[in-house]
Amino acid sequence: MNKAKRKAVIAGNWKMNKTAAESAALIDALIPAVQGAGCDVVICTPFTSLVTAVEKCAGTNIGVGAENVHFEKSGAYTGEISADMLVDLGVKYVIVGHSERRQYFAETDETVNKRTKAALAAGLTVIVCVGESLTQREQGVTEELVRLQTKIALGGVSAGEMARVIIAYEPVWAIGTGRTATAEQAQEVCAAIRKVVGELYGADVAEATTIQYGGSMNAGNADELLQKPDVDGGLIGGASLKPADFAAIVAAAGK
Ligand code: 13P
Nearest-atom index, ligand 1, CA of 177: 4
Concerning whether 70 is annotated as a catalytic residue, the answer is no
Which residues, judged by CB distance below 6 Å to any ligand atom, belong to the binding site of ligand 1?
13, 98, 170, 175-176, 214-217, 235-239
- Predicted model pTM: 0.98
pLDDT value, residue 112: 98
pLDDT value, residue 4: 79
Catalytic annotation, pick one of 67, 100, 107, 170:
170
pLDDT value, residue 146: 98
Ligand 1 pocket, mutate which of 13, 42, 129, 177 (most atoms under 8 A from CB):
13
Phi, psi of 193 (to 5 degrees): -65, -45
Nearest-atom index, ligand 1, CA of 100: 8
3-class DSSP string for 205-223: HHHHCEEEEECCCCCCCHH
Catalytic annotation, pick one of 98, 100, 132, 161:
98
Listed as ranges, residues in the chain with pLDDT below 50 are: none
Separation of 235 CA from ligand 1 center, angstroms?
7
Per-residue pLDDT tens for 56-90?
A: 999 999 999 999 999 999 999 999 999 999 999 99
Rounded Cα–Cα distance for residues 245 and 121 (Å): 34
Concerning whether 22 is annotated as a catalytic residue, the answer is no
In this structure, the dihedral spanned by the alpha carbons of residues 80, 100, 163 and 227, taken in order and rounded to 10 degrees, is 150
pLDDT value, residue 136: 96
Q: Using an 8 Å Cβ cutoff, are 246 and 39 in contact? A: no
Per-residue pLDDT tens for 27-40?
A: 999 999 999 999 99
